[in-house]
A and B are shown apart, each in its own frame.
Chain A
Amino acid sequence: MISADTQGLRLATRYAVLVLIALIFVFPLVFMVMSSLKPDQQLLQDSGSLRAFLPVGDISLDNYAAAFQRAPVWTFVFNSVLITGVTVVLSLVVCSAAGFAFVFVRWKGRETLLAILLATLILPFETIAIPLLLMAANLPWLGLDGISWGWMNSYRIQIVPFIADGLTVFLFVQYFKDLPGELIEAARVEGASWAQIYRKVVMPLSGPILATAAILKFLVMYNQYLWPLMVTQEEGYRPVMVGLQYFFQLNVAWGEVMAYLSLITVPVLAFYLYLQKSFIASIASTGVKG
Chain B
Amino acid sequence: MKVFKLAASAAILAWASAAQAQTPLTMWYHGAGNEVESKIITQIITDFNASQSDWKVELQSFPQAAYNDSVVAGALAGNLPDILDVDGPNMPNWAWAGYLQPLQIDDSRIATFLPGTKGMWNGQLYSIGLWDAAVALVTRQSTLDELGLRAPTLDQPWTGDEFMAALDAAKAAGKWDYPLDLGMAWTGEWYPYAFSPFLQSFGGDIIDRSTYQTAEGALNGDAALAFGDWWQGLFQNGYAQATQDPADRDGGFAAGKYAFSWNGNWAALGALSAFDDTVFLPAPDFGTGAKIGAASWQFGVSASSKHPEGAAAFIEFALQDKYLADFSNGIGLIPASPTAAEMVDTYKAGGPLSVFVAYSASQGLVRPVTPGYVVQAKVFEKALADIANGADVAATLDAAVDEINADIGKNNGYGH
Contacts and interface: CB of A to CB of B under 8 A. Distances in A.
A119 to B, nearest CB: 26
Contacts of B28: 233
B60 A233 contact: yes
B74 interface: yes
Interface stretch (B61-69, B151-159, B228-236, B383-391): B61-69
Contacts of A3: none
Overall SS of chain A's interface: helix
Contact of A70 (B33, B62, B81, B266): B33
Nearest to B37: A249
A75 B48 CA distance: 28
Contacts of A235: 32, 60-61
Interface in B317-370: none
Interface in B42-81: 60-66, 69-70, 73-74, 76-79, 81
Contacts of B69: 229-230
A152 B77 contact: yes
A246 B73 contact: no
A5 interface: no
A136 B76 CA distance: 11
Contacts of B64: 245, 248-249
A250 B266 contact: yes
Interface residues of A, number: 28
A257 to B, nearest CB: 11
Contacts of A250: 266
B58 to A, nearest CB: 10
B60 A249 contact: no
B304 to A, nearest CB: 13
A70 B37 CA distance: 11
**Most chain B CB atoms below 10 A, which of A70, A231, A233, A246:** A233
A234 B61 CA distance: 8
B227 to A, nearest CB: 26
B32 A150 contact: no
A137 B77 contact: yes
Contact of B79 (A137, A245, A248): A137
B67 to A, nearest CB: 9
Interface in A71-119: 71
Given A137-B78, A230-B73, A252 B63 contact: no
**Most chain B CB atoms below 10 A, which of A134, A230, A248:** A230
Given A245-B63, A246-B63, A252-B246, A133 B76 contact: yes
B266 A130 contact: no
Contacts of A136: 77
**Most chain A CB atoms below 10 A, which of B32, B64, B69, B70:** B32
B98 interface: no
B286 to A, nearest CB: 27
A232 to B, nearest CB: 8
A252 B73 CA distance: 26
B70 A229 contact: yes
Nearest to A136: B77
A41 B77 CA distance: 43
A44 interface: yes
Contact of B65 (A234, A245, A251): A245
A194 interface: no
A234 B79 contact: no
A121 to B, nearest CB: 25
A242 interface: yes
A262 to B, nearest CB: 18
Given A133-B76, A137-B79, A150-B79, A44 B247 contact: yes
B63 A133 contact: no
A130 B73 CA distance: 8
A206 to B, nearest CB: 38
A229 B66 contact: yes
Interface string A185-197: 0000000000000
A49 B81 CA distance: 48
Contacts of B35: 69-70
A247 interface: yes
Contacts of B74: 233
Contacts of B251: 41, 44
Contact of B32 (A133, A230, A246, A252): A246
Interface in B270-294: none
Contacts of B247: 44
Given A69-B35, A71-B32, A247-B33, A242 B78 contact: no
A229 B33 contact: no
Contacts of A231: 73, 77
A235 to B, nearest CB: 7
Given A134-B76, A152-B79, A251 B250 contact: yes
Interface string B126-153: 0000000000000000000000000000
A247 B63 CA distance: 8
A249 B79 contact: no
Interface in B179-209: none
A38 to B, nearest CB: 13
Nearest to A250: B266
Interface string A222-246: 0000000111011100000011011
A248 B33 CA distance: 8
B73 A242 contact: no
Interface of A: 41, 44, 69-71, 130, 133-134, 136-137, 150, 152, 229-231, 233-235, 242-243, 245-252
Closest 7 A-B residue pairs measured CB to CB? A246-B33, A245-B63, A230-B73, A137-B77, A44-B247, A245-B65, A245-B66
29 contacts: A69-B35, A70-B33, A70-B35, A71-B32, A133-B77, A134-B77, A137-B76, A137-B77, A137-B78, A152-B77, A229-B70, A230-B69, A230-B73, A230-B77, A231-B77, A233-B28, A233-B60, A233-B62, A233-B70, A235-B32, A235-B60, A243-B63, A245-B33, A245-B63, A246-B63, A248-B63, A248-B64, A249-B34, A251-B250
Given A137-B78, A245-B32, A246-B33, 17 more contacts: A70-B33, A133-B76, A133-B77, A137-B76, A137-B79, A229-B66, A233-B60, A233-B74, A233-B81, A235-B32, A242-B66, A243-B63, A245-B64, A245-B65, A246-B32, A248-B64, A249-B64
